[in-house]
Structure 1
Amino acid sequence: MRVFAELLDRLSYTPGRNAKLTLMADYFRAAPDPDRGYALAALTGRLDFATAKPAMIRGLVEQRVDPVLYGWSYDFVGDMAETVALIWPERPGANRPPELAEVVERLSTASRSDSPRLVEGWLDALDANGRWAFLKLITGGLRVGVSARLAKTALAQLGDAGLEEIEEIWHGVTPPFTEVFAWLEGRAAAPAIDLRRAFRPLMLANPLDEAELENFDPAAYRAEWKWDGIRVQLAAGGGEARLFSRSGDEITQAFPDLMGSADFDAVLDGELLVARDGEIAPFNDLQQRLNRKRVTAKMLQDFPAHLRVYDILFDGDEDLRAQSFDARRLRLEAWYAAVQPARIDLSPLLGFGGWDDLASLRETARARSIEGLMLKLGDSPYVAGRPKGPWFKWKRDALTLDTVLMYAQRGHGKRSSLYSDYTFGAWRTGEDGAPELVPVGKAYSGFTDEELLQLDKWVRANTTERFGPVRAVKPGVVLEVAFDAVHRSKRHKSGVAMRFPRIHRIRWDKPVEEADRLPDLEKLIEG
């Protein structure tokens, strides 16, 4: 556990990508099995401890430390793991420091009643840095600046296999990945998995710089709508099928209505949507189906899942990824005509004579509740990752609204001491006829480090109430917010919610009375 704690500590203070890769690769070479496999699982989000939740940890620390003192400390630090690691009363000699594998294996099988005893004993045995790493491990909140892809890139440095080869087998192997390490180090063959139902890394598009269009030949590109759903991959074969999100997380169980018709042998790339009578519903309807552990019959009826396909990676056992987009499209159309699967259709290609024609089509995207356009080179193979040039996304322009800062909350990691998460509101007429602010969104991006320091200073000087790590502030700062769409929401007092809000500008110059009103936002609701 000590070596793993040192790795997390160094990763959290190392900004450079290459330096992080070196740290992880050196750890994977030096650490023994199964510790290194469990470390890899933690860095890639492949661990989950059902009985070790923040509420349980908070209960343990409040048995040792005055709850008010813990509350004040947490409010100041802004991170639970760091707070508990620093405030936990040490009991030297109470236990021996655990090994990483011991923590993972014992906590994975522990009952809800046994977990507090285990966690308490390990907290007593570890030093402050070890406690911090231990708590980050079991709560899943590492936040050390390492993505799953970066961790797998470091893993690839152990042998001759490339990142794409690791991605190919990734969802067919499980922690602690001993067979993966043996393969990379030349001690065994590649893990044998059923590739018919495995996740294949997606090909991603780059944002289009409109100034670049004049350098491209429009005849070389194909265009289609950028649908407002979530990117998924459906892999079916051998009488079974699996549905993956763009990050490779399996979401099969959440969509039984769609998966019930996947009785074919193919790997499809497309957009998960909600559709009724052939009409695509707003993204807000799809949100009702996302991140659900249990799907009710009413949910299936009210929000029926649909897959709109725009590429085929495998047709039966034949790998089509090396073929051109045009060739794959012909195969996709032939496959669809032969299979005619329920709840699945094809994303149509859009005809256009030149970039002006396509720009005119893009102008209609918002009225159609579509995100924008996709441009794909006709001769492009399907390449994992985000290669520069073959595919572009040309999204519709963002909407903007002038809002008023209402609440601020401390951030996490490097921002844990700064008020960096902002809730903002719009004016409406209250029951007494006076104007009142109601929250319409929350954002924590879109500003510079210098602007963050200015906002943090203003929040501290203009706080009216405190609610733990959250501060209410007097109306005094106008935030121009950019967002992609707005929809009705029963969860918010305002009755609306923004999609992908971010701070566009801080309007220090604008009086709060001149900020926009809730009816201005309601006019932008789609669908």
Structure 2
Amino acid sequence: MRAFAELLDRLSLTGSRNAKLVLVRDYLRVTPDPDRGWALAALTGELSFTAAKPAMIRSAVEARVDPVLFKWSYDYVGDLAETVALIWPANAEHRPNREPELSEVVEALMAATRPQVRPLIEGWLDALAPKGRWALLKLVTGSLRVGLSSRLAKTAAAMVRPEAVAEPPQPEGGEGTTLLEPVDVSEVEEIWAGLTPPYADLFAWLEGRGDRPASDAPGRFRPVMLATALDEAVDLDRLDPADYAAEWKWDGIRVQAVREAGVSRLYSRTGDEISGAFPDVMQALTFEGAIDGELLVIRDGTVAPFGDLQQRLNRKTIDAKTMAAYPAAILAYDILSEAGTDLRSLPLSERRQRLDRLLEAHGGPRLGRSADIPYTEWSQLARLRADPPVGAAAEGVMLKRRDSPYVAGRPKGPWFKWKRDPHLIDAVMMYAQRGHGKRSSFYSDFTFGVWTSEAALTPVGKAYFGFTDEELKQLDKFVRDHTTDRFGPVRAVRAERDFGLVLEIAFEGLNRSTRHKSGVAMRFPRISRIRWDKPAREAASLDEVMDLLDRVEASGGRLAS
């Protein structure tokens, strides 16, 4: 457990992507099975313990320390695992003579009944030092938050393969060396669906001790092909419009729908299965193969705003009322496999023809085609991008070479995304909350608002990125210097007509929302600039925001059949 705790601690304090990769790679190389496999499962989100709830953790610590002291400490620290790790009074009389191994913790929790979980966790907390307690609690609550995506963890696993392994002595008395080919993360993703923690077969293959695990598991995820951002000033002059097919960049989530040998699954672009939240879409998968497309809410042929789709995301199950209110569908734009044949090496133009034939036979209201955008010149496409007839549901356009194969990763050149410019408003900071991980000592999550007709501020969004580390220090100081009230871990910040900090907020879209007092919700808000120079009274009004929302909704249109 100590090595895993050290890994999590260093990951949480490391901002560099490459440095994180090296940390995880080195841990996986030196840690024995099965500990490293359970660690990889935790880092990729494949490990969860339903009985270990935060409420149970709070109850356990309040039985050991003064509940008021714990509440004050929690309010100050802002993170449950960190607070408990620091405040937990170890029982010296019953402290075990050694710390538990990661595999011991995982296997015990997997076998434990609900009443057995709390005593187990309390015993481990007694046995561990503060850093180990923190790692334990992050593990059992499933909230690692160390700035490592599932794909980055798999990338580190692919790097476990050594540069060479020695062969046994040859008959002539010599000794040969077999060089192992490097493993790309796409290869790990290709076989991931057929693997189970703690991944002994994966590591045996990576280290040259075993065969490559089978990659033909029915319903498996295929690594996705990604686009690069288009640089208008550079790319358009060197690209020929005739070489590229254009389509709308829909404001939904990218999915991969797979049905093979009776196994049907719906994956997000990162390979997370989301089938349970979309049974209506799953019923529409009557083909044999794998398609790539966009998951959206579509009513009467019209794509709804992303906010409607959010009503169905991050759920394990869904009820009939929600399905009826937010009918989901896939607009497909590629086909990866059909009837057991891998089509990814074919050019896009041929894959699109096969997709059209598949949808002609198996399409319907839950499964349709993302139509191509007809154009001949870049200027013509630029006008459509700036004012799309499909309105807020389109974030821009996609450009894909007609002769491009489907290649995992983000190759430069075959595919481009040409997004619309974001909306901008000036808003006033109203509240601030501490972040997590390396930001846990800074106020880094900011709620901002705009002026109502009564000259009061109403919140319209929350942002926690878009600023540099130096700007974060400045924002944190402003919050501490101008706090007017405290609500647990949240601080109210002085915000008046004649005094307040104005933030330029960039966002991708607006939706109507009954959950927010202002009546609106922003899509992907982030801080574009800190307007130290601008008086608070000159920030945007709610009327301006609602006018923008009206214009966005008015620009919407029906989808072509």
8 Å contact kept, 2:13–2:437: no
* Correspondent of 1:523 among 536, 543, 547: 547
Alignment correspondent of 2:438 = 414
CA contact under 8 A between 2:247 and 2:373: conserved in structure 1? yes
Q: Which residue of 2 aligns with 1:115?
A: 117
The one-character-per-residue Cα deviations of 1:98-136 (angstroms, maximum 9, x if unpaired) are 111111111123233221111111000111121111112
Residue 162 of structure 1: CA displacement?
A: 2.8
- Consecutive unaligned residues in structure 2, runs of 5 or more: 162-180, 554-561
Indicate conservation of the 8 Å contact 2:90/2:126, yes or no. Answer: yes
Q: TM-score, normalised by structure 1?
A: 0.95
Amino acid at match of 1:457: K
Whole-Å separation in 1 of the counterparts to 2:33 and 2:471:
46
- Mapped partners of 2:263, 2:148: distance in 1: 33
Q: Decide which of 323, 336, 357 is 1:300's aligned counterpart.
A: 323
- Equivalent residue letter for 1:465: D
Measure the CA separation in 1 of the matches of 2:237 and 2:455.
49
The farther-off stretch of 495-504 and 100-109 is: 100-109
State how far apart, in whole Å, the 2-side matches of 1:70 and 1:176 are: 36
1:233 Cα deviation (Å)? 0.2
Contact 1:203 1:382 in 2 (8 A): yes
* Equivalent position of 1:479 in the other structure: 503
One of 198, 215, 227 as aligned partner of 1:176: 198
Are the structure 2 counterparts of residues 13 and 363 from structure 1 closer, same or farther at C-alpha, using a change threshold of 3 Å? closer
Alignment correspondent of 1:489: 513
Change (3 A) 1:344 1:482: same
Pairs aligned (count):
523
Q: Give SS of 1:142's match.
A: coil
SS where residue 452 of structure 2 aligns? strand
* 1:208-227 to 2 correspondences below 5 Å: 208-212=230-234, 213-227=236-250
The C-alpha deviation readout for 1:431-474, integer Å capped at 9, x for no partner, is: xxx42111100001112222221221111111111012110011
In 2, the alpha carbon distance for the partners of 1:211 and 1:152 equals 35
Structure 1 residues 73 and 263 mapped into 2: Cα distance closer, same or farther (>3 Å)? same
Q: Contact (CA 8 Å) 2:501, 2:532: kept in 1 or not?
A: yes
**Equivalent residues in 2 for 1:400-411 (5 A)?**
400-411=424-435
Query: Shift in Å at residue 59 of structure 1?
Result: 1.6
- Cα distance in 2, alignment partners of residues 21 and 139 from structure 1: 24
1:318-373: CA deviation from partner (whole Å, max 9, x where unpaired): 11111111121122122222333552111111111111011011122276221110
1:270 matched to 2:310? The reply is no
Q: Is the 8 A contact 1:240 1:263 kept in 2?
A: no
How far apart, in 2, do the equivalents of 1:151 and 1:290 lie? 23
Aligned equivalent of 1:69: 69
Give the conservation status (yes or no) of the 8 Å contact 1:262–1:341. Answer: no
Query: Corresponding residue for 1:356?
Result: 379
* 2:186 aligned residue: 164
Which residue number corresponds to residue 103 of structure 1?
A: 105
Q: 2:296 touches 2:330 (CA, 8 Å); kept in 1?
A: yes
Q: CA RMSD in A?
A: 1.7
> Counterparts of 1:23-422 in structure 2 under 5 Å?
23-92=23-92, 93-95=94-96, 96-159=98-161, 160=181, 161-192=183-214, 194-212=216-234, 213-365=236-388, 368-369=391-392, 370-422=394-446
Aligned CA distance change for structure 1 residues 40 and 462 (closer, same or farther; 3 Å): same
Task: Give the alignment partner of residue 447 of structure 1, picking from 467, 470, 476.
Answer: 467
Q: How does 1:497-516 map to 2 (within 5 A)?
A: 497-516=521-540
- Given that 2:218 and 2:263 are in contact with CA atoms closer than 8 Å, whether structure 1 keeps it comes out as no
Residue 3 (structure 2) aligns with:
3
Q: Does the CA contact (< 8 Å) of 1:239 and 1:263 recur in 2?
A: no
8 Å CA contact 2:296–2:303 kept in 1: the answer is yes
CA contact (8 A) 2:398 2:416 kept: yes
1:347 corresponds to which letter in structure 2? Answer: S
More displaced 10-residue stretch of structure 1: 329-338 or 474-483: 329-338
2:449 to 404, 408, 425: 425
Secondary structure of residue in 2 paired with 1:523:
helix
Give, in angstroms, the shift of residue 422 of structure 1: 0.4
Identity of aligned residues (%): 61
Give the deviation of 1:84 after TM superposition.
1.4
Tell which deviates more after alignment, 102-111 or 121-130: 102-111
Give, in whole Å, the separation in 2 of the partners of 1:339 and 1:456: 55
User: Runs of 5+ in structure 1 lacking a partner?
Assistant: none
Contact kept in structure 2, 1:241 and 1:263, CA below 8 Å: no
Query: What residue in structure 1 maps to residue 164 of structure 2?
Result: none
Which amino acid is the alignment partner of residue 106 of structure 2? Answer: V
Q: Distance in 2 between matches of 1:178 and 1:215?
A: 48
The 8 Å contact of residues 196 and 317 in structure 1, kept in 2 or not, is answered as no
